[in-house]
Amino acid sequence: NAGVMQNPRHLVRRRGQEARLRCSPMKGHSHVYWYRQLPEEGLKFMVYLQKENIIDESGMPKERFSAEFPKEGPSILRIQQVVRGDSAAYFCASSLAPGQGSGGYGYTFGSGTRLTVV
């Protein structure tokens, strides 16, 4: 049973380009979460999605960032017109629907995508 798959593992973009980060949740998981980790900091929540629906985007920057989790295919975190401050590791996690499964044990992280903006 494959875990949470994120790709690419490393992504380099020039300032002003677009970055697309992909996340395939664990089989059977219907909820996806995106987190950002700046250098030497903890993970910060960005957005929480279920298929075709954004549940909570309270941590998303107001501009340039968007996320989707379509009915078919992976969840996508999209950053338009990247700037140097977007350089970070972006983690995806997936879980069963809240209230199901075994709480935190059902919450699985991917290995992250390290975005470098040059």
Rounded Cα distance between 12 and 67, Å, is 19
Interacting span for other proteins (CB under 8 A) from 11-19, 37-45, 71-79, 80-88: 37-45
Rounded Cα distance between 43 and 6, Å, is 16
Residue 89 found at the interface with other proteins (CB under 8 A)? yes
Rounded Cα distance between 58 and 110, Å, is 21
Asked if 4 contacts 60 with a C-beta cutoff of 8 angstroms, the reply is no
27 Cβ contact partners less than 8 Å away, ≥ 6 residues apart: 1, 2
Site track for other proteins across 43-72, x = CB under 8 A: xxx--x-------x--x-------------
Residue of 50, 66, 87, 111 that binds other proteins (CB under 8 A): 111
Min separation Cβ 41 and other proteins, Å: 6
Give the amino acid at 46.
Answer: M
Task: Enumerate binding residues for other proteins (CB under 8 A).
Answer: 31, 33, 35, 41-45, 48, 56, 59, 89, 91, 93, 95-107, 109, 111-112, 114
